[in-house]
Structure 1
């Protein structure tokens, strides 16, 4: 279990975050990179950015894939954190469908209680509020918390810890449903987080957790989803081991296309493992996701993708083309920094998130503008850094495309659409 020391910028892990085992096999090294969500401003453009090692390892004891550097979470998430979930219409619709399904399946009413961990700007919980179901959001980023409270979603500014879970339990605030979307992978104290979920969940409650799935990440060469905020990359095998350690059972899973391939996990205190879980465990065993050999050639595939992407972009530039990018996303920061794609190639990046506009991409310092800049400048090509929302982006930019603009999708292999 990782314990961050106050004031320590980062810690290099020698043992597994989940099981504590010592048999860690590093299979990918992306070098020292800046923090993917730490945007540069005009005020600090002249300052050097902190960079940290970004290496990925496989635990031979419990099958968890993880990065080996833990950056202090207060540096990662509590310092002007710029991610606001509500700027993605696709994510809003995805979340609402999830909530409506749970209200029906679990028979939730005004007597129920729902908690979301890393609730961001209230994008998901607001659907429960509309149904008059009591909620509590917990998030460590002050901007999104303020936005959530402003729209009537009660949200506490805090990191979710075992200590906080015990405090809420003592107050009688155990939950019928606990949501945790794209947060389990971000947590330095993996075991403390899961133990907190177990303590805060009612005996007949369910924790509904979404996390990117390691299989499509490896198979589709989605290396740009690796950054310091994402500490873990889960298989069902690793998740099952983790939950059972804390008296929880992974009883059902759903495969999701969002974020390049994710899992929705239904976790309960009662063991009633369904076919969706047992079949997936068997699938992983047959494909070898529980052994390091499955991950061995990932590094070579990543290197080839970066070479192919740089070659494509430089060929277009040599032919006189202008190129911008869409999506000042964390995955975009990993891509441009590890592939060495800078301002000599990309004129600017656009993003709908107003909290990012007027700032600069980490590392490469490429300016971030509103999406309208695509029509103003009409670049010949747009490199889609937020490729996990490619359909939404293409639909938004129909006018740009009608004028002859083209999109470049970088993974799993660079292609022009």
Structure 2
């Protein structure tokens, strides 16, 4: 359904010593299973390639930590969690979510394969099993800690090539009367808004209700509720329960499935318009950056997320058009983006250089980042968001502003 060329794994940021070395690239081709309607890419790399040491620390996003805090509060009320309960989070990262569980004196356990980020979770006081979730590991965790009243799997279900085995492991972890909460990016938004930069080699699947029901059923689980949430440009939270004890599904399950059918996601031709819209996003952004260079404007980028690496590589954007990125994560400072080899610097570099345009790669955090960068308005700096359509934004107000004459305009607009 979509050919994004070939790119390196998105979290393999290069050190200066690696700049003269070759990089392994892999095709990034999005495909659709005609039988189960699961949007996916071939599993060309393994989770072990990516997650043994990982560059993403969840706690560097203020809005994501706040999202986790609200989820814990809501789940505690929803399920009646207390000091006799057990919460297990798969892909616990740096403890961004379980720290809020600890604050409520609820027993918890994280399962996290990345050594460097799990060490940060332990530093926060979160107990962690530093390993990948498998069915044998799930059995050992259940034997040692008991069944979980809540199993949380935020933004991990799409990262697993063996999705059937992983989902069975979730079933092993959860108590018969417990619940599993799974958050993933909603493929409805990917298709509707051409969110192609959510596609990268860590993400093997792109989920809808229509596909999720089949995967859960195969693991003896039932989909009992869904919530549409704004994170990551539009995500969906699946609530699942062991099939033999599952209540009647919420009406929201059917409503979201109906919306997916209305968008054409229950048939192959419903995905056909994605590729042309993606190509338009690339043309508009590259045209803007070329025009900005010709006009002598200073340009920088904000953020070095995985999604940004898909955009940079697909668009062919390199340091001649985007001289550097800044990022809040010190792990990335002094490193270079995979494939495009753009240097990554601390955020303070923006205020030293005073660029005219700042291209925001984590566009899904638009409100948070606009607030963080409001100060660049002092010298007339503007933010650039490439998706879902190209916009230049005044950081002082958060409102879109017209493009300067002849800058980034389409041929018709010129």
TM-score (norm 2): 0.93
Of 313, 332, 342, 2:318 maps to: 342
Q: Name the residue aligned to 1:251.
A: 224
Measured against aligned partners, the alpha-carbon deviations of 1:58-99 in whole angstroms (never above 9, x if no partner) come to 111011000123312211111x31100000000010000000
- In structure 2, the gaps of 5 or more residues are 394-414
Aligned-partner Cα distance in 1 for 2:46–2:19: 22
Q: 1:373 and 2:349 equivalent? A: yes
Q: Name the residue aligned to 1:168.
A: 141
Q: Name the residue aligned to 1:201.
A: 174
Q: Name the residue aligned to 1:10.
A: none
Contact (CA 8 Å) 1:70, 1:188: kept in 2 or not? no
Contact (CA 8 Å) 1:53, 1:69: kept in 2 or not? no
Q: Please identify runs of 4+ aligned residues in structure 1 that moved more than 6 A.
A: none
Q: 1:364 and 2:340 equivalent? A: yes
Q: 1:264 and 2:237 equivalent? A: yes
Once the two structures are TM-superposed, the CA of residue 366 in structure 1 deviates from its matched residue by: 0.8
The 5 Å alignment of 1:15-414 reads 27-78=1-52, 80-269=53-242, 270-414=246-390
Once the two structures are TM-superposed, the CA of residue 284 in structure 1 deviates from its matched residue by: 1.9
Once the two structures are TM-superposed, the CA of residue 171 in structure 1 deviates from its matched residue by: 2.8
Once the two structures are TM-superposed, the CA of residue 285 in structure 1 deviates from its matched residue by: 2.2
Contact (CA 8 Å) 1:323, 1:347: kept in 2 or not? yes
Contact (CA 8 Å) 1:141, 1:157: kept in 2 or not? yes
Contact (CA 8 Å) 1:208, 1:266: kept in 2 or not? yes
The RMSD of aligned alpha carbons is: 1.0
Range with greater deviation from structure 2 (257-266 or 40-49): 40-49
Once the two structures are TM-superposed, the CA of residue 287 in structure 1 deviates from its matched residue by: 2.6
Once the two structures are TM-superposed, the CA of residue 32 in structure 1 deviates from its matched residue by: 1.1
Aligned-partner Cα distance in 2 for 1:138–1:43: 33
Contact (CA 8 Å) 1:55, 1:69: kept in 2 or not? no
Contact (CA 8 Å) 2:264, 2:271: kept in 1 or not? no
Range with greater deviation from structure 2 (228-237 or 284-293): 284-293
Range with greater deviation from structure 2 (43-52 or 58-67): 43-52
Once the two structures are TM-superposed, the CA of residue 271 in structure 1 deviates from its matched residue by: 4.0
Once the two structures are TM-superposed, the CA of residue 347 in structure 1 deviates from its matched residue by: 1.4
Contact (CA 8 Å) 2:57, 2:117: kept in 1 or not? yes
Give the match's secondary structure for 2:27.
strand
Measured against aligned partners, the alpha-carbon deviations of 1:147-181 in whole angstroms (never above 9, x if no partner) come to 00011000111001111112222335210000000
Contact (CA 8 Å) 2:58, 2:94: kept in 1 or not? yes
Contact (CA 8 Å) 2:357, 2:382: kept in 1 or not? yes
How many residue pairs end up in the alignment?
390
Structure 1 97/66 Cα, relative in aligned 2: closer, same or farther at 3 Å? same
Aligned-partner Cα distance in 2 for 1:398–1:281: 39
Contact (CA 8 Å) 1:406, 1:416: kept in 2 or not? yes
Range with greater deviation from structure 2 (275-284 or 150-159): 275-284
Q: Name the residue aligned to 2:398.
A: none
Give the match's secondary structure for 1:341.
coil
Aligned-partner Cα distance in 2 for 1:395–1:285: 37
Contact (CA 8 Å) 1:54, 1:69: kept in 2 or not? no
Aligned-partner Cα distance in 1 for 2:256–2:347: 40
Give the match's secondary structure for 1:224.
helix
Once the two structures are TM-superposed, the CA of residue 226 in structure 1 deviates from its matched residue by: 0.4
TM-score (norm 1): 0.92
Contact (CA 8 Å) 1:52, 1:69: kept in 2 or not? no
Aligned-partner Cα distance in 2 for 1:50–1:338: 16
Give the match's secondary structure for 1:310.
helix
Aligned-partner Cα distance in 2 for 1:273–1:106: 16
Once the two structures are TM-superposed, the CA of residue 197 in structure 1 deviates from its matched residue by: 0.7
Measured against aligned partners, the alpha-carbon deviations of 1:306-358 in whole angstroms (never above 9, x if no partner) come to 11111111011111111100010011100011100100011110110111111
Contact (CA 8 Å) 1:348, 1:366: kept in 2 or not? yes
- In structure 1, the gaps of 5 or more residues are 1-26
Aligned-partner Cα distance in 1 for 2:140–2:87: 16
